[in-house]
Amino acid sequence: MRKIAFMFPGQGSQIVGMGKQLADADENIKSYFERADQRLGYSLSNLIFEGPQSDLTLTTNTQPALLTTSMAILSYFKRSGIEPDYVAGHSLGEYTALVAAKAISFEDAVYAVRKRGEFMEAAVPHGEGTMAAILGLDREKLGVVTANVTDEGHSVQLANLNCPGQIVISGTKKGVELAGIQAKEAGAKRVLPLEVSGPFHSQLMKPAAEKLQAVLDDITLQDAAVPVIANVTAEEMIAASEIKTRLIEQLYSPVLWEDTVRKMLENGVDTFIEIGPGKVLSGLVKKIDRSATIFAISDEDSINKAIEGLKEASR
């Protein structure tokens, strides 16, 4: 029997106008954007639909914007009656996965990720931390590189283990620069500096994690209705107490995305549906297992194609 996973994207997938077609066509979908506006006290929806892109890309705006848009798309898609066996999200996307799994309310999640973005921005002075994608080097060799640079007194670590041959490192500007040089010497094909505002998923985010804990302490978390594969462990989590712990750890720990996908594959998942703007996660799953069935849905057309594709596959 077919097993389905819903996946939710993180920062980098945002684009002005995302979700607008569905919101314009359906009042129930539009209500997600209105509820986000009300909870945050400003017009997030106008920023999502009209831009400018420079403001939408600010971490404090991007996080609630992506969560809101992905939930609106999910709400439309779920009218098909298709339900997941597992859910997972990349970094910020883990919060969307938890809303989908009924572990946290939509309004609380929108508020939490807005604050999360603020804390991440404030944790390290602007320009002191950064991230870079390392292509063509396995995690063991890259782990040795980052350990060497750390031993030399510069903070850097593995941050996003996305798929074979694609790992993001994070740390101080000097630490990432030195690790990039040593990674090339160790056989990496390319080192791509990322346009980010801080060293996310590194130990430098611990001050943000402490502040986030206070926010999550004031929010009601419930046991998940469907297993969520955690970024931090690549294992199933359901209990509310564990969810809170993992969300705090996630800020300064690597996102084990390749391991997350492999866990779902091991558990029998053969169909992955990316819910939100872009196709980043779909591309990563393809690199992990080319035999998986993958759909990326972001508008009415792609949703209808996915539903038809799933019906065809089950015949």
Contact 284, 261 (CB under 8 A): yes
Per-residue tokens: 2: 């077919």
Task: Answer with the one of 196, 212, 232 that is the final residue of a domain.
Answer: 196
DSSP 3-state of 101:
coil
Per-residue tokens: 216: 């999550």
| CATH number of domain containing 86 | 3.40.366.10
What pLDDT, on a 0 to 100 scale, did the predictor assign at position 195?
86
Is residue 164 over pLDDT 90?
Answer: yes
Per-residue pLDDT tens digits for 42-86: 999 999 999 999 999 999 999 999 999 999 999 999 999 999 999
What pLDDT, on a 0 to 100 scale, did the predictor assign at position 301?
96
Report the catalytic residues: 91, 201
**CA–CA distance, 194 with 199 (Å, rounded to integer):** 10
Is residue 315 over pLDDT 70?
Answer: no
Q: In what order do the strands lie in the sheet with 228-229?
A: 236-237, 228-229, 86-89, 4-8, 271-275, 293-297
Mean pLDDT to the nearest integer, 279-297: 97
**68 plus 171 within the same structural domain:** no
Per-residue pLDDT tens digits for 134-155: 999 999 999 999 999 999 999 9
Q: Is 1 exposed, middle or buried (0-12, 13-18, 19+ CB in 10 A)?
A: exposed
Give 307 or 314, the one with higher predicted confidence.
307
**CA–CA distance, 229 with 312 (Å, rounded to integer):** 28
**181 plus 72 within the same structural domain:** no
Mean pLDDT to the nearest integer, 248-275: 98
**178 plus 236 within the same structural domain:** no
Distances (CA, A) of 51 to 43, 57, 65, 72: 11, 9, 11, 18
**22 plus 97 within the same structural domain:** yes
What pLDDT, on a 0 to 100 scale, did the predictor assign at position 130?
96
Integer-rounded Cα Rg, in Å, for the chain is 19
Mean pLDDT to the nearest integer, 131-136: 98
**101 plus 221 within the same structural domain:** yes
**173 plus 249 within the same structural domain:** no
Helix pair angle (139-151, 173-185), 10° resolution: 130
Is residue 126 over pLDDT 90?
Answer: no
Q: How many domains does the chain have?
A: 2
**71 plus 136 within the same structural domain:** no
**CA–CA distance, 177 with 193 (Å, rounded to integer):** 9
**140 plus 269 within the same structural domain:** no
Mean pLDDT to the nearest integer, 182-210: 96
Percent of the chain with pLDDT strictly greater than 70: 100
What pLDDT, on a 0 to 100 scale, did the predictor assign at position 30?
97
Handedness of CA 161, 167, 172, 175 (dihedral sign): positive
Mean pLDDT to the nearest integer, 268-291: 97
- According to DSSP, the β-strands at 236-237 and 190-193 are unpaired
The candidate with the shortest Cα–Cα distance to 124, out of 89, 61, 173, is 173
Which positions ≥6 away from 178 have C-beta within 8 Å? 149, 152, 154, 156
Task: Answer with the one of 161, 177, 196 that is the final residue of a domain.
Answer: 196
| CATH number of domain containing 133 | 3.30.70.250
**CA–CA distance, 140 with 230 (Å, rounded to integer):** 21
**16 plus 109 within the same structural domain:** yes
**CA–CA distance, 51 with 66 (Å, rounded to integer):** 13
The range of the structural domain enclosing residue 137 comes to 129-196
Task: Answer with the one of 196, 220, 246 that is the final residue of a domain.
Answer: 196
pTM above 0.85, yes or no: yes
CB atoms within 10 A of CB 208: 24
What pLDDT, on a 0 to 100 scale, did the predictor assign at position 208?
97
The candidate with the shortest Cα–Cα distance to 68, out of 85, 47, 88, is 47
Contact 232, 256 (CB under 8 A): yes
